[in-house]
Amino acid sequence: MKVAFQGERGAYSEEAIVQFFGSEVETVPCQRFEEIFAAVESGEATYGALPVENSTAGSINQAYDLLLDHDLRVWGEIILRVRHTLLAPPGSTLDDVEQVRSHPQALAQCERYISNHGWTAEASYDTAGSARELAANPIPGVAVIASRLAGQLHNLEELDYGIEDAFHNYTRFFVLSHQDPPRAQRNKTSLVFGSRHQPGALYECLGEFARRNINLTKLESRPRLNRPWRYTFFLDFEGHCQDPVCEAALMGLLRQSSFVKLLGSYPAATTPPPEHGFEVQEERS
């Protein structure tokens, strides 16, 4: 089994794959999101791990546009708690650090931690890439922020772990496949639909779920690339598309909308706990 992801070895996407499939999984790094879809469609990879939203930064629009353009199914869901790790060349200590390198987003998420230590921050193109470069060219006084997996892959010293300022930082991934997964005890369904251009159209579409007491967990609009000032809606709800009440809601949505594309019904993931994040945050502030 091979799983495709976007990024370098040690990226948080690869960490999510290991969390979901186990440490023995074989991964296929890709440069762009489009290559994840291509790898699964061609058979180079069995599955693809696509990040779709972050709890602090919001949805990844390119990912949702690609889901609309391709016919792969959402086979599973991963929720990864993003834990940033401070890494340095072997033998380094915290007292040696003067400068920290990483992707701008990772630096921003650890801004208070870096400031409290009086270090300077330097932006790099990638978290895992910064770890690989430091391992290849160790520089005294320089550390990087990346995943714990990146440190293990590149034999870097782990100086600190869980250094992020916000302890409720999660990234949600879709696991993509050609197939539908077996039904689970807790399921979630994702779809995209378009509403008619008339008063009350969206209200009537959403009413199909409200009248049947189906809980919506996500609703977001995206511009339709081929129709200016028209929008598509990405929607997640609790339940499986083959549950009788959900099936009835989907049939009603088909009648009310201009189009519906079912992305998949899959086992719902559980959000990992913050692991005493508030206590650690108070201690470091």
Active site members: 171, 173
Q: Is 125 helix (H, G, I), strand (E, B) or coil?
A: coil
Q: How far apart are the C-alpha atoms of 202 and 261, rounded to whole Å?
A: 16
Handedness of CA 141, 147, 148, 150 (dihedral sign): negative
Q: Please, is 265 exposed, middle or buried when counting C-beta atoms within 10 Å of its C-beta (0-12, 13-18, 19+)?
A: buried
CB pairs under 8 A, 24+ apart, for 238-243? 238/186, 238/187, 238/188, 238/189, 238/214, 238/268, 239/187, 239/188, 239/189, 239/214, 239/265, 240/183, 240/187, 240/189, 240/265, 241/189, 241/265, 242/183, 243/187
Q: Which two tokens stand for residue 4?
A: 């495709």
Half-sphere exposure of 140 (CA within 13 A, CB side): 0
Beta bridge partners of residue 66, listed in sequence order: none
| 181: number of Cβ within 10 Å | 17
DSSP code for 94: G
- Are 73 and 41 within 8 A, CB to CB? no
Name residue 135's amino acid.
A
CA 106 to chain CA centroid, Å, is 14
